[in-house]
Structure 1
Amino acid sequence: MTMASDALYPYLLDPKLTTQVWGGDELVKLYGKNGDPNARLGESWECWDEDRVRNGPLSGSTVAELRARLAARLLGDVDSSRIFPVLTKIITAHDWLSVQVHPDDAYAQRVEHQPFGKTECWYVLAAQPDAEIVYGWNRDTSRDEYEARVADGTLGELLRKISVKEGDTVYIPHGLVHAIGPGVTVFETQQASDLTYRMFDYNRLGLDGKPRQLHVEKAADVLDYAQTTSGTLRQIEYNFEGLDRTALIADENFIVERVTAVAEPATMATSDRPLILMTLDHAMDVSAAGGSAVLERYQTALIPAAAGRCTVASRGPNAPFMYVTPPANDHQLPARLLAAGVAQADVDAFMAQFRSGDASELERAPL
């Protein structure tokens, strides 16, 4: 690796691995993580405040320490005062995750005294045949019915299950009841919060041999009780900055895309925001601000906003990678789509999956 003298370069991150009652050995055997394959690993926290840099002059620093040292040079026009605002993970499920829900920012601040609630999304990296997730209610319900069904053990009769496959995208706003099913591996992007309210956990014991804690009343406070009719998301394929991209998610918390690097180097603008890049099946070279590094398969790099631009090139076959950035507003991706020639109606339909309104006033929004 070569490095820039001013400590701005691609920061390769060491992820945190977590054991889970529903975990297995895939993170080690299939995704190359440095852990015990017998430890029932379920999550790899690819980019978050406590991950450590493993390369260059800032090696050993946590992302939190980068925030303190670099401030706007790391995060640009994104608030750097509290916590790195986005958390990315690989989640592999050997069994059902608990039936759960997350609060919004206001509830998190008022009740939990934490800065963020939790909206998240999943890009399905792998799924066994007939794999399913829980996604919302199969009909309208109410707090009273929810509490009664938790008490008598019939909550499952209200849960809506949908099939998922590799390449699907699922958006999970705060308030939506959900759960990942067995045989599903996802790349998750979420607000930087671990606030999870479990409603049902299959009466199983945790890794400590004790029942896992439920949060029935807090879940009741934050649940959306309306029937859910949506499912996996519409995606948009386009080309921008010489790279083939698939737009997956664009809301006020994060932008998520799947991008493909080729052997010919291509340069992406940071647009005054940090970039989170995670390779998929193949390695690629990444350079920024005079520093460069090799990003091996399923590894994550954080590109500081002040780098201005980031160049990527595959090593051998084309190298698809996940691209995440915390936007200052949710106009950035629609503006790129319009600049790339995507029809206004298609942009509007894509954005309608995440918020009300349309993108009709975004032609001049910054890229």
Structure 2
Amino acid sequence: MNESTFYPFFFTPIYQYRLWGGRRLSNLLTEPLPDGPVGEAWILSDRDDHASVVNNGLYKGITLTDLFNQYPESVMGRLAGNFDRFPLLLKFLDAQEVLSVQVHPSDDQKEYIPKGDTGKTEAWFVIEPGEKALIYAGLTPGTNEQDLRIALDEHKVANYLHSFKPKSGDGVFIHSGTVHTLADVVVFEVQENSDTTYRLYDWDRTDAKTGKPRELQIDKALACIDFSLVDIDPVKSEATATEPVLRERYFNNEHFILWRMYTADQFTVGAEDEPRILVCTEGNGQLDFKGTKYTFKKGDVVLLPAEIGVIKCIPQGKINLLEIAIPETK
């Protein structure tokens, strides 16, 4: 196909069973949920086992993997050649029950990363906290490996985890090496394109599907913990623009930059010669590209390939829109 035919790409969510999941993703997404507890919707994924599929326009049915491999300059622009695959993985999480206490390795901990994968730094944007919502992020100050090994034997790991009650609109940065988990909350998650997680503790529960406890990787988890990462609280957003709309930057690191716009006024999205990703967490509107209107709604993720540049966003009432950029790391 001709590379000049690109436009804003929408994708079909990929649902994932998780024993801690629920049914609240139906409040975000129109694609029907499968039976059972659904913990994750992978909304933009370039993974061998789960590749997102375009669901609109000329490229309908094409995977993100094929777009990235066949049209690298059109998709990535000035970032083409910097990555072996699309570098971010985006999800919605419904933690109806508490997740396992877990940790992800950093990019330089090669011995703990499967071949072809990376470390994992991630961040959460809180969408829907429940009455019992709780986020655990980081250790309590002074905690060491021996403390955690004793706590595992005594089933008291939570005593060494920093926690807080999240509210809608909170942003939480989970750098690789951070011990973390969350409960009774729906969040949007942006992360490195990695599926490497080590479980430290799983609250002594069994998986209803297998009747057995889930596997723990205690030694690997402990080896990957950065014990200096303590008392992680919500980030303080920074206003990077006030006209025509308030544009708040939540995260800015070597893996991703994320802004939030909450407005009913028109504004622009996208950037010249680099890709951007839009995630709508509230409301609906239209994207105007060369006079063609692309309607988006709550729960939609839209990839703006580098080739299309800056375009206009037209809210239909108030919207909560996240825009994500990929830093040039090489």
What TM-score does the superposition give when structure 2 sets the normalisation length?
0.90
Q: What is the CA deviation profile of residues 76-131 of structure 1, one whole-angstrom value per residue up to 9, with x for unaligned ones?
A: 23346522101111111111010000001122476422342100111111112452
Partner of 1:327: 327
**Contact 2:120–2:176 (Cα < 8 Å) also in 1:** yes
**Contact 1:109–1:116 (Cα < 8 Å) also in 2:** no
Partner of 1:259: 261
**Contact 2:103–2:221 (Cα < 8 Å) also in 1:** yes
User: In the alignment, does 2:42 pair up with 1:45?
Assistant: yes
Q: CA deviation at 1:291?
A: 5.1
Q: CA deviation at 1:289?
A: 5.8
Partner of 1:270: 271
Partner of 2:12: 14
3-state SS of 1:205 partner: coil
Percent identical across equivalent pairs? 27
User: In the alignment, does 2:33 pair up with 1:32?
Assistant: no
User: In the alignment, does 2:223 pair up with 1:226?
Assistant: no
User: In the alignment, does 2:185 pair up with 1:167?
Assistant: no
**Aligned equivalents of 1:187 and 1:33: distance in 2?**
16
Partner of 2:146: 144
Partner of 2:182: 180
**Contact 1:263–1:313 (Cα < 8 Å) also in 2:** yes
CA-atom RMSD in angstroms: 2.3
**Contact 1:273–1:327 (Cα < 8 Å) also in 2:** no
**Aligned equivalents of 2:229 and 2:305: distance in 1?**
41
Counterpart AA for 1:32: L
**Aligned equivalents of 1:199 and 1:5: distance in 2?**
46
Counterpart mapping for 1:297-312 below 5 A:
297-312=298-313
**Aligned equivalents of 2:29 and 2:264: distance in 1?**
22
**Aligned equivalents of 1:189 and 1:93: distance in 2?**
16
Counterpart AA for 2:25: L
3-state SS of 1:174 partner: coil
Partner of 1:285: 286
- Against the structure 1 CA distance between its residues 318 and 219, is the aligned structure 2 distance closer, same or farther, given a 3 Å change threshold? same
**Contact 1:235–1:248 (Cα < 8 Å) also in 2:** yes
3-state SS of 1:131 partner: strand
Q: What is the CA deviation profile of residues 264-322 of structure 1, one whole-angstrom value per residue up to 9, with x for unaligned ones?
A: 4x33341422111111221111134665411122111100011121221112x122211
User: In the alignment, does 2:140 pair up with 1:116?
Assistant: no
**Aligned equivalents of 1:123 and 1:242: distance in 2?**
23
**Aligned equivalents of 1:109 and 1:318: distance in 2?**
47
Partner of 1:350: none
Counterpart mapping for 1:212-251 below 5 A:
212-226=214-228, 228-239=230-241, 242-251=244-253
**Contact 2:263–2:320 (Cα < 8 Å) also in 1:** yes
Partner of 1:339: none
**Aligned equivalents of 1:73 and 1:165: distance in 2?**
38
Counterpart AA for 2:155: G
**Contact 1:135–1:231 (Cα < 8 Å) also in 2:** yes
**Contact 1:22–1:97 (Cα < 8 Å) also in 2:** yes
Q: What is the CA deviation profile of residues 183-206 of structure 1, one whole-angstrom value per residue up to 9, with x for unaligned ones?
A: x11111111111111011112122
User: In the alignment, does 2:69 pair up with 1:65?
Assistant: no
Unaligned runs of at least 5 residues, structure 1: 331-367
- Against the structure 1 CA distance between its residues 201 and 70, is the aligned structure 2 distance closer, same or farther, given a 3 Å change threshold? same
Q: CA deviation at 1:72?
A: 1.8
Q: CA deviation at 1:151?
A: 3.4
- Against the structure 1 CA distance between its residues 227 and 321, is the aligned structure 2 distance closer, same or farther, given a 3 Å change threshold? closer
**Aligned equivalents of 1:229 and 1:81: distance in 2?**
33
Partner of 1:361: none
Number of paired residues? 323
3-state SS of 1:6 partner: helix
**Contact 1:134–1:178 (Cα < 8 Å) also in 2:** yes
- Against the structure 1 CA distance between its residues 299 and 16, is the aligned structure 2 distance closer, same or farther, given a 3 Å change threshold? same
Q: CA deviation at 1:233?
A: 0.9
User: In the alignment, does 2:21 pair up with 1:23?
Assistant: yes
Counterpart AA for 2:87: P
User: In the alignment, does 2:129 pair up with 1:131?
Assistant: no
**Aligned equivalents of 1:280 and 1:32: distance in 2?**
10
Q: CA deviation at 1:223?
A: 0.4
3-state SS of 2:118 partner: coil
3-state SS of 1:105 partner: coil
- Against the structure 1 CA distance between its residues 209 and 287, is the aligned structure 2 distance closer, same or farther, given a 3 Å change threshold? farther
**Contact 2:94–2:186 (Cα < 8 Å) also in 1:** yes
What TM-score does the superposition give when structure 1 sets the normalisation length?
0.82
Q: What is the CA deviation profile of residues 233-266 of structure 1, one whole-angstrom value per residue up to 9, with x for unaligned ones?
A: 11123436733211111111001111135354x3
Partner of 1:341: none
**Aligned equivalents of 2:171 and 2:24: distance in 1?**
21
Q: CA deviation at 1:177?
A: 0.3
**Aligned equivalents of 1:7 and 1:240: distance in 2?**
34
**Aligned equivalents of 1:142 and 1:309: distance in 2?**
48
Q: What is the CA deviation profile of residues 131-178 of structure 1, one whole-angstrom value per residue up to 9, with x for unaligned ones?
A: 211111123222233233323433222122212111111110001100
